[in-house]
Amino acid sequence: MKIIQFYADNPPLSWIEKIGKSDWKAGQYLAELLRNNKLRELCGESTEVLLMTENDSLLSFCTLAERDEIHDTDMSPWVGFVYTFPEYRGNHHIAKLLEHASRMAEKSGYEALYISTDQSGLYEKFGFSDTGIRKMSIYGDISMIYKKFLTKEAL
């Protein structure tokens, strides 16, 4: 297994279609943004899509972005579009992707990583804590914001 970056590594374009066939509306939306070259326009020019792969198979994906669905904040960077295809679930792919995203963010000089979600009890096991902040997303939903400190100095 390996993690590749969509913009840096130019994976097969068929993987955009695979993302679009996910059983999750957000995955389908991500595929649309990638097909129309709009993801970086929406989320920031340094946005990257991390793809967990094995041989010719796409197992899981997420984004690491300057902005996510919460735009009225100075928090950055954000993990988003976190997904594993059903046939690959239970193998800790998300943990590996989130750790990879954390290392990338830390290497870029960030002290924390954020995620906007409506899922309670999911991201704590990956080192994220509920900030208690609730914000309106660009889609009109109220979302919880979780934070993960990346450096010991930030604790």
110: left (phi over 0), alpha (psi -120 to 50) or beta: beta
Q: What is the pLDDT of residue 139?
A: 82
152 confidence band (pLDDT: 50, 70, 90): low
90 confidence band (pLDDT: 50, 70, 90): very high
pTM: 0.93
**Would strands 48-54 and 112-117 be described as parallel, antiparallel, or unpaired?**
unpaired
- Before 77, cis peptide (omega within 30)? yes
Residue 62, CA distances (Å) to 33, 48, 132, 133 in order = 14, 9, 23, 22
pLDDT at 71 exceeding the cut of 80: no
Average pLDDT over residues 100-115: 96
Domain ranges of the chain: 2-154
32 confidence band (pLDDT: 50, 70, 90): very high
Architecture per CATH, 2-154 = 3-Layer(aba) Sandwich (3.40)
